[in-house]
Structure 1
Amino acid sequence: MDLKFKVNAHIAKPVAEVFEAVANPEKLSGYFTTGGAQGRLETGATVMWDFHDFPGAFPVEVTEVIPNEKISILWNASDSSEGDPYKVAATMTFQSLDDGRTLVTIAEGGWRPTEAGLASSYGNCYSWTQMLCALKMWIEHGINLREGFFK
């Protein structure tokens, strides 16, 4: 069993603006990392993300960034408490569309093929889908979709 998923969304903004909304920690903190993000997403960086719904800041390793095209990260699998810690990989791609919109796709995988790994992958799929919804509302309409969502 290969536990992986892919989610995507069309964002009605140019690719450079959408990419910056993800790579810039101040912007990311405005709609996604509800407890804050520290550090710009750049190749080789380790940044910190914090969420009110998942308390405790944690490291995110940035393995590759191609401006306006791709961000690849590694982070600890949430089911690591069941054994040796391990990481899952997520890749965000940004595709400029002919109509001026941006297609953002997030693919993640690498969980252990266990019940806990399956549950962890479902949780991350939910979270990345919510991130795309929050990004769309924030960048297109100035609405923080996650504000008060978990409190």
Structure 2
Amino acid sequence: MQVNFRVSGRIAKPVAEVFEAVADPEKLSRYFTTGGAEGRIEPGATVTWDFHDFPGAFPVEVIEVVPNVKIVLEWDASEGEGGEIGTKMREAGYKTTVTIMFKPIENGRTLVEIAEEGWRDAPGGRRSSYNNCEGWTGMLIAMKAWLEHGINLREGFYK
């Protein structure tokens, strides 16, 4: 069995603006990376993301970028025991791949689809995929609130 997921959401902004909200570290830090982001998402780059709910900045490798269409990232998989919030995570010794697609839709809106794949088909891998699915869903919701209404939903949520 492959362990993967796909989430999506619609944002009432043009594709170029939504794409930049992910590619630009200053913008990404305004609504998603609660501890900040460093480095622009460009092909071959390694950027750094930090989250209050997942302590310690970590590298994100940029594999592919098609402006206003697609971003492909890889990062180290982490696995934890159990599923409780606050469970200690450990490096799992392999990477997962994240693909973010941006599609123009009616009325100048954008459909954003995020897929992540590559976890081991084992309890720790499945648990981590569920956690990341929750995280990417939260990212889409936070991006929509920030881009459409200027509201940072994650501010104070984790710390």
TM-score interval, normalised by the smaller of the two chains: over 0.9
Q: Which residue of 1 aligns with 2:39?
A: 39
Identity %: 65
Match of 2:123 in 1: 115
1:107-147 CA-to-partner distances (Å, cap 9, x unmatched) read 00100010000000000000000000000000000000000
Within 5 Å, give how 1:1-151 maps onto structure 2: 1-79=1-79, 81=90, 85-151=93-159
Report the residue type matching 1:113 in the other structure: D
Paired residue total: 150
CA distance in 1, matches of 2:49, 2:28: 10
Q: Using a 3 Å threshold, how does the CA distance of structure 1 residues 57 and 97 change in structure 2: closer, same or farther?
A: same
- Aligned-residue RMSD, C-alpha: 1.1
Letter matched to residue 133 of structure 1: I
Equivalent position amino acid for 1:46 in 2? T
Q: Specify the SS of the correspondent of 2:106.
A: coil
Quote the Cα distance in structure 2 between the aligned partners of 1:134 and 1:78.
Answer: 23
Unaligned stretches of 5+ residues in structure 2 = 80-88
- Could you list the runs of 5+ residues in structure 1 that have no partner in the other structure? none
Q: State the distance in 2 between where 1:122 and 1:17 align.
A: 28
TM-score, with structure 2 as normaliser: 0.92
> TM-score if structure 1 supplies the norm length?
0.97
Provide the rounded CA distance (Å) in 1 between the counterparts of 2:12 and 2:90: 39
Q: Once superposed, which parts of structure 1, at least 4 consecutive aligned residues long, lie more than 3 Å away?
A: 80-83
| Partner SS, residue 50 of structure 1 | strand
